[in-house]
Amino acid sequence: MKSELFYKQPKTLLNKGSGFLSGYSHSLNPYTGCAFGCSYCYVRQMPVATFRKEEWGTWVDIKQGSAELLDKELTKAKKKGKVTIFMSSSTDPYQPIEYKEKVTRSLLEVMVENIPDFLFVQTRSPLVSRDIDLLLLLKDQARVSMTIETDREDIRKHFSPDAPPITARLKALQLLAEAGVPTQATIAPVLPSTEEFPEKLVKLVNRVCVDDYFMGDGSGGKRTKNLGVLSLYKDLGLEEWYNPSAYRIVYDRLRKVFTNDQVYVSQEGFLP
C-alpha cells in the first residue's frame, strides 16, 4: 500500500514513558503513522490514528528537524536523571520512508554523541541493519528487538501484507548478532507458527519475548476486539490461536530450545 507523506515540524520529540512503557523514562517516535499498516496494530484505536480521516497505514508524517530537537531534549532530560528510551511505541522507526529520509539514523547520530542510559529499538524492518555502525557505538546500552510474529510467510501476508518478509527479518537479526549488537526476537503478537519456529530463532538470538493482544495491546484485548481481528483468524480456520492462552503454545515450544532466563513474556521482555 502506498502511503501519503507529510512533512511536519514537531514541538517535542521525547515523550514520557507511561502505561506499558512505564519502565522507560521516554518514548521516541521519528514518524507519526506507519506504512506497514498491520491489521492488528493497536495504534489504529488510539487518538493519533482516530483523529485522522485517512486509514491507518495510508499516511506518514515525517518529523523534520528531529535531530536538533532531540539533541536539546536529551541534554535537558539527562540533567534531570536517568534517560531510558523506547523507540518506537506508535510507529516503526525503520519503515520504508526511512531509506530516503534517514530521520531515525539522524536520531541515532545524536545519541551516539550523547549516549542515553538505555535505548530499546523496536522494529520489524531489516533496514535496521543499515545502522549497525551507530548501534555498535551505543555498546550494551542499546538493544534491537525485531518483531517476528510467526515463521509462516502465508500467515504474515494474511495479517500484515505490507510488512517486510520474515526471511528478511531473520537475515537482519543474523547481521546484527554477528556484528555484536544486542538483540532479541519479539514474537508479538503471537500468530500461528510452526513447531520449528524456535529452532530458527535459537541460531540467531539468545533472548526472545512472547506477547499477545490480551497482555500487550494496552486494553486487555479490547482494542484488538474492536478492530475485528478475530475474523482474520476465522478466514483461515485458526480461531484456536485467538485466545489468552494461545501464547502458551509458542512459549512451551520455545522453552524446549531456550532456557528459562532467555524467554520473556509480555512487558518484561520490553524493559530496559
Which residues contact ligand SF4 (rule: CB under 6 A)? Answer: 34, 36-38, 41, 43, 91-92, 124
Nearer to ligand SF4, 110 or 227 (CB): 227
Give me the least distance between CB of 91 and ligand SF4, in Å please: 5
Give every CB contact of residue 185 below 8 A, 6+ residues apart in sequence.
145, 146, 148, 173, 201, 204, 205, 207, 208, 209
Nearer to ligand SF4, 164 or 253 (CB): 164
Give me the least distance between CB of 260 and ligand SF4, in Å please: 28
Give me the least distance between CB of 189 and ligand SF4, in Å please: 9
Nearer to ligand SF4, 116 or 164 (CB): 164
Contact 105, 128 (CB under 8 A): no
Q: 36: which 3 cell numbers?
A: 506497514
3-class DSSP state of 177: helix
Give me the least distance between CB of 261 and ligand SF4, in Å please: 27
Nearer to ligand SF4, 33 or 77 (CB): 33
User: Three-state SS across 125-175?
Assistant: CHHHHHHHHHHHHCHHHEEEEEECCCCCHHHHHHHCCCCCCHHHHHHHHHH
Nearer to ligand SF4, 84 or 91 (CB): 91
Give me the least distance between CB of 24 and ligand SF4, in Å please: 17
